[in-house]
Amino acid sequence: MKVILVGAGPGDEELITLKGLNAIKNADVIVYDDLIGENLLKYAKDNAELIYVGKRKGKHSHKQEEINRILVEKAKENKTVVRLKGGDSFIFGRGGEEILELKKHNIPYEVIPGITSSIAVPEVADIPLTHRKVATSFTVVTGHEAEDKDKKQVKLSELNADTIVILMGITNLKHHVAELLKNSRRNEQTPVAIITNGTKSNQKIVKGTLKNIVKKAEENDIAPPGIIVIGDVVNILE
Ligand SMILES: C[S@@+](CC[C@H](N)C(=O)[O-])C[C@H]1O[C@@H](n2cnc3c(N)ncnc32)[C@H](O)[C@@H]1O
């Protein structure tokens, strides 16, 4: 009886760790999300049970409580359960919440880190998040809570890192750009890149500035999932 949280990496299935892949090969049950390289499931045992709990593909989306219940139930059947998540399980992945639930039920667990998309997706698009003399700090934030003003914790206008990385920010891009411009460290010429489906065969990169990125995103039919990078590092390798 054990649950292993495995970070699948950013999308290209070869970017999983060897340890993560071995866990998949040995699992009795794999509970998986969107944004994992689906070819990874081919490594599962023939009789492994594969349970999809993501939000896309037109199926009903599983609430977190439901996912927690599946993990606990399957582990209590004395099975080795792999909880397979995109990127790294702890970076906007609710991995911590799942572990708290497992602890409540005294279920042993292990965490196998994954390469988070927040760093790897810019990297494959030739954007290093730090670069000596240009960027000595970066911040990764969610752009998802922007509409929910009461609960809002991220204030883009107050972020002072040299490089800002926004996950889940495409839908509210216009709002984010306006907020970013409220900080005097940035202006309309500040470089911006958006990378969608990073590391995958359908990867798309659009570059611009805070002045024109909204228009460029529209012109290029940019749609989630994507990562927004703001700062001088965007063009540093050109
Ligand atoms: C719920 S978060 C999970 C992040 C994940 N735990 C990680 O460490 O990469 C999902 C968001 O990550 C970003 N993302 C994940 N994979 C991506 C990819 N291959 N290309 C672009 N963005 C990606 C998008 O912003 C997406 O909306």
Domain parsing of the chain, residue ranges? 2-115, 118-235
Residue-wise pLDDT for 167-199, tens only, equals 999 999 999 999 999 999 999 999 999 999 999
For residue 117, which atom of ligand 1 is closest to its CA? Answer: 9
Task: Write out the catalytic residue numbers.
Answer: 33, 55, 168
Please say whether the beta carbons of 29 and 49 come within 8 A. yes
Q: What are phi and psi of 6, to 5 degrees?
A: -120, 125
Instruction: Assess contact for 187 and 210: CB atoms under 8 A.
Output: yes
Report the nearest atom of ligand 1 relative to the CA of 120: 9
Closest by CA to 86, choosing from 22, 5, 140, is 5
pLDDT of residue 61: 66
Q: Ligand 1 centre and the CA of 106: distance in Å?
A: 30
Point out the ligand 1 atom lying closest to the alpha carbon of residue 114.
Answer: 8
Query: In percent, how much of the chain has pLDDT > 70?
Result: 95
- For the beta carbon of residue 87, count every other beta carbon within 10 angstroms: 27
User: pLDDT category, 146, cuts 50, 70, 90?
Assistant: very low
Instruction: Tell me whether the omega of the peptide bond preceding residue 225 falls within 30 degrees of 0, making it cis.
Output: yes
Instruction: Residue 87: name the closest of 184, 6, 174 by CA.
Output: 6
Tell the residue nearest (CA) to atom 22 of ligand 1.
Answer: 226
Q: Please indicate whether residue 88, judged by its CB atom, sits closer than 6 Å to ligand 1.
A: yes
Asked whether 96 lines ligand 1 (CB < 6 A), one says no
Residue 95 Cβ < 6 Å to ligand 1: no
Q: Is 194 a pocket residue for ligand 1 (Cβ < 6 Å)?
A: no
- In this prediction, residue 74 carries a pLDDT of 97
Domain 118-235: state its class.
Answer: alpha beta
Residue 9 Cβ inside 6 Å of ligand 1? The answer reads no
119 lines ligand 1 (CB under 6 A): no
Instruction: Look up residue 225 and give its two tokens.
Output: 């999932």
* pLDDT value for 69: 96
What pLDDT was estimated at residue 34? Answer: 86
- The topology (CATH level 3) of 2-115 is Cobalt-precorrin-4 Transmethylase; domain 1 (3.40.1010)
For residues 100-105, give the mean pLDDT.
97
pTM of the model: 0.95
What's the pLDDT at 144? 84
Atom in ligand 1 nearest the alpha carbon of residue 89: 6
CA distance 116 to 174: 25
Over 60: is that where the pLDDT of 134 sits? Answer: yes
Read off the amino acid at residue 63: K
The residue whose C-alpha atom lies closest to atom 2 belonging to ligand 1 is 92
CA of 103 to the centre of ligand 1 (A): 26
d(CA 26, CA 35): 21
